[in-house]
Structure 1
Amino acid sequence: MLTQEDYKTHNHVKFLVNYHFVWIPKRRKKVLIAEIATRTRQIFAQLAIEKGWDILALEVAPDHIHLFVSVKPTDTPHLVIKAFKARSSSYLRKEFPQLKKLPSLWTSSYFVSTAGNVSSEAVRRYIEDPHHG
């Protein structure tokens, strides 16, 4: 059951909007490793702070990303994923020249689902389980 603490307030709205995103690098290349993976996490954390979003869970695997993020109701899934993909692609390709070998860092595709409080915990456990492969 939801408690008042589970909801956020912004202006005159009380809300709980959680998105689970999954996306892959172009050609599903296993490029999200070592320093690139670390830097990806840093870029995402900074962007989330700037936008007022909360990253609830994040997995940066070599060939895909799972991002579970809580956003404001005015932030559509398309704009959220666009922000994460655009910022990370721009920064990572400047900082790691080997990523310029790909025509773009990310594919244009992505998966998104919404999750309320009960299913949010299930999504978090799934992302944090190293065996979900």
Structure 2
Amino acid sequence: MDEVRSNNNVVYRRNFHEVWCRNTGGRSPPARSMADSKKIIREVRAERDLPIEAIETMPDHVHLLVVCDPQFGIHRLVKQIKGRSSRLLRAEFPHLKSRLPTLWTNSYFVATTGGATLEIVKHYVENQRNVSSTPLPPHG
């Protein structure tokens, strides 16, 4: 997952930890619907050729560790996954549709993972005139 990836315009290494919550409407969702959520997330990921390092569904939220092309955008990935899974799961479990306007809340958490600290990268950028080919220090 820590590999450098590329598309026609960008070379990148961007790993994200995402978390989003379900609208539960005071009811617990069926356990099977959460298992189906994993399947749907994997399908969207495969269509976009986005590696998933880890995925876990809880009764009221989802954790996802994924690589995302910066030109596609993490917001578009989250929107696609949440939209498709909401549509398909609410069709399969009609009680979710009758009780909730959407399966997922509008908000989500996302953070990049790993890499050098902001201080190290800032120092690297500020010193580029002094050192023409210094690689970024390893992260860890």
Query: TM-score over 0.5 for the alignment?
Result: yes
AA partner of residue 112 (structure 2): T
CA distance 1:15–1:29, change in 2 (3 Å)? farther
RMSD: 2.2
**TM-score of the pair, normalised by structure 1:** 0.76
Equivalent residue in structure 1 for 2:79, among 73, 78, 82: 82
Q: Are residue 109 (structure 1) and residue 107 (structure 2) matched?
A: yes
Select the structure of larger CA radius of gyration. Answer: 2
Q: Which runs of 5+ in 1 are unaligned?
A: 119-133
Judging by fraction of residues, say which structure has more helix: 1
Query: Structure 1 pair 11/66, CA: closer, same or farther in 2 (3 Å)?
Result: same
Could you tell me which amino acid in structure 2 is paired with residue 49 of structure 1?
A: A
What's the TM-score, normalizing by structure 2?
A: 0.72
Higher relative contact order (CA 8 A, sep 6+): 1
What is the 5 A alignment of 1:1-133?
6-27=3-24, 31-100=28-97, 101-116=99-114
Deviations for 1:70-105, whole angstroms, at most 9, x for unmatched residues?
111212221111111101001100111121112211
Identity %: 38
Report how many residues are paired.
115
In structure 2, stretches of 5+ residues that fail to align are 117-140
